[in-house]
Structure formats: structure tokens, C-alpha cells
Amino acid sequence: MSGLFISIEGTDGSGKTTQIRLLEQYFKDRGFYVVCTREPGGNMISEKIRELIIDKENTEMTPVTEALLYAAARAQHVACDIMPVLNDGGIVISDRFLDSSLVYQGCARGLGIKTVKDINKYAVDSLEPDITFFLRLKPGDGIERKKKQKELDRMESENEKFHRMVYGGYMQLARRNKKRIKVIDALKSIDDIHREIVEYIERLFEQKGI
């Protein structure tokens, strides 16, 4: 594998989509082959699984079922969308990856981080992002942003306690993985956030000799 794998994480409404678009353009302007994708999703099969996960009608879905569905979507995502690009030396920017499952199902759903890692063992096949950006935004602020954009899906519609646990889970992961996970204040301006992300990317390029 010779490419670069970047994941963008954050609580709902933290501005991930905007920053992904800006980062994609940054790479394209410099002549890199870059592919943007998302989780759950990225391909036909994973997108169909996504529909099951976020459908507000699926109120009886258990935490284990939810975690397994995410893992199934991720397995297809890695095999069909991520690894082919990385093996060709390209750059993949993913809106969420395994860290999301660790905090949403592991922390907020109460399954435990180790359990969710075990569930995803074969899905990711040891793949980990080279760098992850966590756009830090307190849960209340994020949901208010989302409400202004669209109708909330099943995950976004969870109660405030759930979203607080998600936020706490992300902060826990960030403390444990300081080398990979870079925490960025999502309340900064769009340009300032993009500038900070680019600074981290350029340092990573220096380390890898790109």
C-alpha cells in the first residue's frame, strides 16, 4: 500500500462535509489522485446498509445488530473503495471510519470499545488511517446545526445523553491516539480549520517524504 488514507471524524453538525470538499480541492490543485467517500456507504452495497441503519422506522434495532451492520458496510467499503485507491498510490478521504463505531456503538451504545474492535477485525483487516481529524463540537451545538440543515435521521435523533457519550468517546480516543488523531476546534472559521488541516497534512508529507 503506497497511498495516503485520511479520515475526518466529528459529532453531528461539526462541518465534516465542508472540510472534506476543501481538502479534496487542495489535493487536486497539487495534482494528486484523490477519492472522497463516506461511512457507512461509498458503494451500492454499503449505501443500502446505510439506509437500514439511519431509517427512523428501525426503532427496534439492537446495538449488536447496529454494530454488525456498520462492520458489514465497512468491509465492503474497504475492499471496493479504499484499498484499490491506496494500492494505486492515491489519496482517500473518508467521512468517518472505524473510530465512529468505537464511539457510537462502543461508548454510546455500551458495547465497549474492545467488543467493537473485535467485531471489525475482519472488516478493516488491520487498515488504519494515516491521520484522522476530529472536528470537536459539543453535542448541543452540533445537533442545532443539523436541525437547520435537514430532518434528523435515526442516529442524529438520539437523545442528548447519547450524543454526550459520543463526544466523550471521541475525546477519549483522541487522548489515547495523539499521534494519529488531531483535534480541531470546529467553532473556528471554515478557512482557519482548513488551514490547520493543511498544516498537519504538510507535516505528514514531510515525514513520509512525499
Query: Is residue 53's pLDDT more than 60?
Result: yes
Q: Which grid coordinates are listed for 84?
A: 484499490
Which residues is 183 bridged to in the sheet?
A: 134
pLDDT at position 95 is 98
pLDDT at position 144 is 61
* Average pLDDT for 202-206: 93
Query: Is residue 210's pLDDT more than 90?
Result: no
First to last CA, the chain: 14
What percentage of residues in the chain have a pLDDT greater than 90? 83
* Average pLDDT for 170-195: 97
Q: Encode pLDDT of 107-152 as tens digits.
A: 999 999 999 999 999 999 999 999 999 999 987 665 566 556 567 8
Architecture of domain 4-208: 3-Layer(aba) Sandwich (3.40)
20/193 Cα distance (integer angstroms): 11
Which residues is 135 bridged to in the sheet?
A: 10, 184
pLDDT at position 149 is 58
pLDDT at position 148 is 60
pLDDT at position 160 is 86
Confidence at 2, pLDDT banded by 50, 70, 90: confident
Picking from 80, 81, 120, the residue whose alpha carbon sits closest to that of residue 100 is: 120
pLDDT at position 187 is 93
pTM exceeds 0.75, yes or no: yes
Whether 43 contacts 8, CB under 8 Å: no
Whether 72 contacts 119, CB under 8 Å: no
pLDDT at position 24 is 98
Whether 133 contacts 6, CB under 8 Å: yes
Length of the chain: 210
Backbone φ, ψ for residue 184 (5° rounding)? -130, 135
